[in-house]
Chains A and B, each alone.
Chain A
Amino acid sequence: GQNIDQPTEMTATEGAIVQINCTYQTSGFNGLFWYQQHAGEAPTFLSYNVLDGLEEKGRFSSFLSRSKGYSYPLLKELQMKDSASYLCAVSLKAAGNKLTFGGGTRVLVKP
């Protein structure tokens, strides 16, 4: 089976940087996705990593280490609207890209 772990909650200050760690144990790894989900809304795509390294996209970056089985997004210059759940999801080669999600990390941005 697959095991995906991420912290349940984090608190950060407006304007700061937050890093959310996600560790996974899977076979047939075919990439890792991060989704953002505001309360009561659908998850929205943030990033996809399949190769090791950091990918940057404006205020949002995502890092992957396949050998160590972990990933993190970096959210910079935090804004109040960034308060949301952040979902780590692994895609498996033999599974038609079905996503296996972690439990999500609820990030609360305080002024």
Chain B
Amino acid sequence: GAGVSQTPSNKVTEKGKYVELRCDPISGHTALYWYRQSLGQGPEFLIYFQGTGAADDSGLPNDRFFAVRPEGSVSTLKIQRTERGDSAVYLCASSLISGPNEQYFGPGTRLTVT
């Protein structure tokens, strides 16, 4: 079946602009996670959804970052007033249920802020 998909695969934007990154999880997966990965480092947790609600947003770096999952499936990560330090690969993962289960990762969106 289809895996986790993310669009766009690459996004180049100017400092100060607004961007939206989309994640389409595996059908039926109730848990959805966003991570951010900088070059040469491991992924860093941003936010976790169980269904439609953000169960843990403790990893969001500041209030410029926001994410939604209105129907419990597709999720959008929104970044306002982008800064050069936001440049990274944004990874989305989903799992069938929450709890210690395998998370399936999407290919990521490479965001470059110039």
Q: Tell yes or no: B85 within 8 A of A by CB.
A: no
Q: Which residue of B lies closest to A88 (CB)?
A: B42
Interface residues on B, range: 20 to 34
- With A44-B105, A101-B42 known to touch, is A96 a contact of B56 (CB < 8 Å)? yes
Q: Please give me the residue from chain B that is nearest to A45 by CB atom.
A: B102
* Chain A minimum-CB-distance residue to B99: A97
0/1 string, B29-45, CB within 8 A of A gives 1: 00101010000111111
A contact residues, range: 20 to 34
| Any A CB within 8 A of the CB of B106 | yes
Would you call B104 and A45 a contact (CB within 8 A)? yes
Q: Mark A23-59, 1 if CB is under 8 A from B, else 0.
A: 0000000110101000001111100101000000000
Count of A-B contacts with CB under 8 A? Answer: 65
Taking A95-B56, A96-B48 as contacts, is the C-beta distance between A43 and B98 under 8 angstroms?
A: no
Report A60 CB to chain B, min CB distance, Å: 15
Complex Cα distance A45/B48, Å? 19
**Distance of A103 Cα from B43 Cα, bound (Å):** 8
- B101 contacts A by Cβ under 8 Å: yes
Report how far A98 CA is from B43 CA in the complex, Å: 11
Which residues of B are interface residues toward A (Cβ below 8 A)? Answer: 4, 31, 33, 35, 40-45, 48, 50, 55-56, 59, 91, 95, 98-108
List the interface of chain A (C-beta within 8 A of B): 30-31, 33, 35, 41-45, 48, 50, 87-89, 91, 95-104
Pairs across A and B, CB under 8 Å, 7 listed: A42-B107, A48-B100, A96-B55, A100-B45, A101-B35, A103-B40, A104-B42
